[in-house]
Amino acid sequence: MNAAELKLDLFRRLDSLDSKNLEHVYSKIIGLINAELKSNQALSPEIKAALDTAIEASEKGNVHSHESAMQKTRELYPNLFR
Protein backbone atom coordinates (compact mmCIF):
# COMPACT_ATOMS: atom_id res chain seq x y z
CA MET A 1 0.00 0.00 0.00
CA ASN A 2 1.19 3.52 -0.69
CA ALA A 3 0.96 6.33 1.86
CA ALA A 4 -2.44 7.59 0.69
CA GLU A 5 -3.91 4.08 0.87
CA LEU A 6 -2.48 3.54 4.36
CA LYS A 7 -3.95 6.82 5.59
CA LEU A 8 -7.34 6.02 4.10
CA ASP A 9 -7.35 2.53 5.61
CA LEU A 10 -6.37 3.94 9.00
CA PHE A 11 -9.06 6.62 8.78
CA ARG A 12 -11.72 4.04 7.92
CA ARG A 13 -10.71 1.84 10.82
CA LEU A 14 -10.71 4.78 13.23
CA ASP A 15 -14.05 5.98 11.90
CA SER A 16 -15.64 2.62 12.71
CA LEU A 17 -14.69 2.75 16.42
CA ASP A 18 -17.06 3.82 19.19
CA SER A 19 -16.08 6.83 21.32
CA LYS A 20 -14.47 4.86 24.15
CA ASN A 21 -12.33 2.72 21.85
CA LEU A 22 -11.50 5.73 19.69
CA GLU A 23 -10.13 7.62 22.71
CA HIS A 24 -8.08 4.59 23.71
CA VAL A 25 -6.63 4.08 20.23
CA TYR A 26 -6.06 7.82 19.81
CA SER A 27 -3.95 8.01 22.97
CA LYS A 28 -1.91 5.00 21.83
CA ILE A 29 -1.31 6.47 18.36
CA ILE A 30 -0.33 9.86 19.76
CA GLY A 31 2.06 8.15 22.17
CA LEU A 32 3.68 6.23 19.32
CA ILE A 33 3.97 9.34 17.17
CA ASN A 34 5.51 11.37 20.01
CA ALA A 35 7.97 8.58 20.83
CA GLU A 36 8.99 8.34 17.18
CA LEU A 37 9.49 12.11 16.94
CA LYS A 38 11.62 12.15 20.09
CA SER A 39 13.78 9.26 18.89
CA ASN A 40 14.40 11.00 15.56
CA GLN A 41 15.43 14.35 17.02
CA ALA A 42 19.04 15.30 16.45
CA LEU A 43 21.23 16.22 19.38
CA SER A 44 21.41 19.91 20.18
CA PRO A 45 24.74 21.57 19.36
CA GLU A 46 25.40 22.05 23.09
CA ILE A 47 24.89 18.36 23.89
CA LYS A 48 26.95 17.28 20.89
CA ALA A 49 29.80 19.59 21.96
CA ALA A 50 29.66 18.25 25.53
CA LEU A 51 29.73 14.65 24.29
CA ASP A 52 32.62 15.39 21.94
CA THR A 53 34.56 16.97 24.81
CA ALA A 54 33.87 13.97 27.05
CA ILE A 55 34.96 11.52 24.35
CA GLU A 56 38.19 13.46 23.73
CA ALA A 57 38.97 13.50 27.46
CA SER A 58 38.29 9.78 27.72
CA GLU A 59 40.55 9.01 24.76
CA LYS A 60 43.34 10.98 26.48
CA GLY A 61 42.93 8.81 29.58
CA ASN A 62 41.26 11.54 31.61
CA VAL A 63 38.64 9.29 33.20
CA HIS A 64 37.11 8.99 36.65
CA SER A 65 35.20 6.33 38.51
CA HIS A 66 31.43 6.54 38.65
CA GLU A 67 31.61 7.15 42.39
CA SER A 68 33.98 10.11 42.10
CA ALA A 69 31.97 11.62 39.24
CA MET A 70 28.76 11.32 41.26
CA GLN A 71 30.42 12.84 44.34
CA LYS A 72 31.67 15.83 42.32
CA THR A 73 28.27 16.21 40.65
CA ARG A 74 26.53 16.22 44.04
CA GLU A 75 28.94 18.91 45.24
CA LEU A 76 28.46 21.10 42.17
CA TYR A 77 24.72 20.54 41.73
CA PRO A 78 23.17 19.75 45.12
CA ASN A 79 19.63 20.57 43.91
CA LEU A 80 19.88 17.86 41.28
CA PHE A 81 19.64 15.14 43.93
CA ARG A 82 16.69 15.55 46.25
Using one digit for the tens of pLDDT, what is the confidence trace for 13-35?
A: 999 999 999 999 999 999 998 88
* Cβ atoms of residues 73 and 80 within 8 Å: yes
pLDDT at 1 over 90: no
Task: Compute the radius of gyration of the chain from its Cα atoms.
Answer: 23
- Does residue 40 register a pLDDT over 70? no
Distance CA 27, CA 47 (A): 31
pTM: 0.44
Distance (Å, rounded) from C-alpha 23 to C-alpha 48?
38
Q: What is the dihedral of CA 56, 61, 62, 63, to 10 degrees?
A: 100
pLDDT digits 0-9 by tens, 49-76: 998 999 999 889 988 899 999 999 999 9
